[in-house]
Amino acid sequence: MKHYDAIIIGAGQAGIPLAKKLAEAGKKTAIIEQSMVGGTCINNGCTPTKTMIASAHAAHRARMAAKLGIEIGSLKVDFKKIKKRKDEIVESFRNGAEKGLKSIKGLDLIHGSATFSGLKELTVKTADGKELLLSAEWIFINTGAKPRIPELPGLTATNHLTSSSILDLTEIPEHLVILGGNYIGLEFGQLFQRLGSKVTILEKSERIMGREDDDVSSEMTKILKEEGLEILTNTTITAVEGNENKLKIQLKSLEEMRTIKATHLLIAVGRTPQTAALNLDVPGIKINKNGYILVNDKLETNVKGIYALGDVNGGPAFTHIAYHDYTIVYRNLIEKGRHSRKDRPVPYCMFTDPQLGRVGLSEKEAKARGLNYLVAKIPMSRVARGIETGQTSGFMKAVVAPKSKQILGVSILAVEGGEIMAVLQMAMEGKITYDKLMYGVFAHPTFSESINNLFMSIEKE
């Protein structure tokens, strides 16, 4: 049995910085990774998808260039080059993360799979076939989540894709069907449509992006359909058959049962925590009905000294939230702070084009809470910078409290929507009222300058 001060299971976006900081603070630390250092974000999430989205965006802008007076002619998409660039960037990020871990004194990086074999004891089967017994005063679980695969007749017999395996394609799908009309499905749908695929999105609910306001969903639907994507709502898959790029997918909608043919099927219906192999019942760590580890606001499980960080604890599944989880436990344990995840902001961005940047309350959430609120909204067709650059899809929207004039939340469906959202998030955290932003001085011509006009729309009502 080898004893450490701290062991981290999973080298994701919480585990990596935590391991480094603990070791630098003088704690003898081990970090265990059964797959690739960097977690979902670097290997099959943020980094590869946003790299490929940049290529798809370039193709789309090239097609739209004629509207700006630039004639490009025929367009060629070199998918092998796109994939090579993506792979090189991912490898660079991953190698950098692994090199960073190996450079820290007092930190052991162990490649293998870990399971609990005692209260604070782990059995690790290493990549080279060895078995290690480790223990620690502190254990941090950062094993993340993986794509959830529904039980559908015939699905397991097909080469269906997940958000991970789709990144390994070497050719552009001829007809890509996507099950799931939310953030992951929409990003991939627009990406491959722009690269040359025919794309059909299937959503079981009455609209895509069910978490968002109706007007956000409606506008995004309009934008994607104008680009050529087919979006079928109130539609589910009842069975799949075929293989080798020849699929028959049976659909059920409110109106009919029918079969469509496709070459590829992407399953994008959510994710599930990677907890099954940990033997959490051995230390008695509690999980919820979906397998997520239960933690308190300081991210500690019901077992003292064992914490769960990132997607595995069932909180918002974003890289920046996982990273913030790390800062909470580190500052509490090492700096003796009293930090909590309670009431922290949860900004996020969907990297379609236009982007959706979101933070705080949506209009429907404000309404559900019975709040007194006002809505500020302007279309991007009234934003000078949008008109000048030929990017007028979407709108800016904010929910505000009329009495305090505080900004309660924003939905920015616009080019660089995430960046505009971040400006408003800082105002929210700094308690800057919307009337101050309405008369604020912003550089012209920028997208954020239209924050003036956004809040002036309230005065015009």
Task: Please state, in angstroms and rounded to a whole number, the distance separating the CA atoms of residues 337 and 283.
Answer: 27
Other Cβ atoms closer than 10 A to 365: 16
Which of 57, 160, 175, 444 is flagged as catalytic? 444
Give kind and range of the element (H or E) at residue 121. Answer: strand 121-126
Residue 73 and residue 60: Cα distance in Å, rounded? 13
Distance in angstroms (rounded) separating the CA atoms of residues 458 and 438? 10
Residue 167 CA to residue 14 CA, distance in Å, equals: 23
How far, in Å, CA of 433 to CA of 423, rounded?
13
- Strands annotated E in 127-262: 131-141, 145-147, 175-179, 198-202, 230-232, 236-243, 246-252, 257-262
The number of helix segments (H) and strand segments (E) in the chain equals 12, 20
* Catalytic-residue membership of 444: yes
Tokens of 133: 């017994």
DSSP track, 346-372: --EEE-SSSEEEEEE--HHHHHHTT--
**What's the CA gap between 291 and 44, in Å, rounded?**
22
Tell me the β-bridge partners of 360: 409
- Tell me the DSSP string of 71-114: ---S----HHHHHHHHHHHHHHHHHHHHHHHHTSTTEEEEEEEE
d(CA 272, CA 151): 14
Residue 103 contacts by C-beta under 8 Å, 6 or more apart in sequence?
none
Residue with tokens 């552009």: 172
Cross-strand bridge partners of residue 321: none
Element (H, E) at 58: helix 46-64
Tell me how far CA of residue 443 lies from CA of 82, 415, 448, 455, in angstroms: 35, 17, 8, 17
Residue ranges with strand state E in 289-434: 306-308, 348-350, 355-360, 374-379, 395-400, 407-414
Catalytic residues: 444
